[in-house]
Structure 1
């Protein structure tokens, strides 16, 4: 991880500002490595940095926690979001496969035919999905 990322995480409050040597070098505690792994793993799971900050904050402030802010709830919501994106990408992939199979070579020409496999007709008729 590069130095700019560490400093950014400090500014965002994800990492506590570490102690420094007399020469000004940062001395991160061992727990910082665990926290960095948590941050990076959560990002790979699709959580934004703001969401990661909230999750980290939840872990450090457990008392008085509301059920709707739990990791379980947030993970379930993120899973729904990711599955929706996957479904959208599968629809896009299917449209592209159909276009490839149909031999579409010119999008403008294809869009003017009734047999165009790309869902341009739906967009033309006002359907934005």
Structure 2
């Protein structure tokens, strides 16, 4: 099974798109994630919606708003509140992990390979088949 990150932007429109992806694919949702990191002394988060592969396909898409939301641990932002509200309406939980930030990698593809490994290690992603 192929697992591929699909990067959305960091603004409100991108967040609305991520929320809409979750709502319209509620039967395909595998997991909802918040990946927390620190960038230049700022606590940031990436929001991720993992979908089960479309049948008969073999690709598991991971839609991500990449490091664009302030970590809600200190003070929830409007963007995070909107996401959390949508996830609650779907009767799902947001799983949380602390990860390295993407600036620690020479290329974004290396960062996504790192995230894939972390998610597999924590059994959030199924093993490759």
Task: Tell me the TM-score normalised to structure 2 length.
Answer: 0.24
Q: Using CA pairs below 8 Å that are at least 6 residues apart, which structure has the higher relative contact order?
A: 2
Please identify which structure carries the higher helix content.
1
Please identify which structure carries the higher strand content.
2
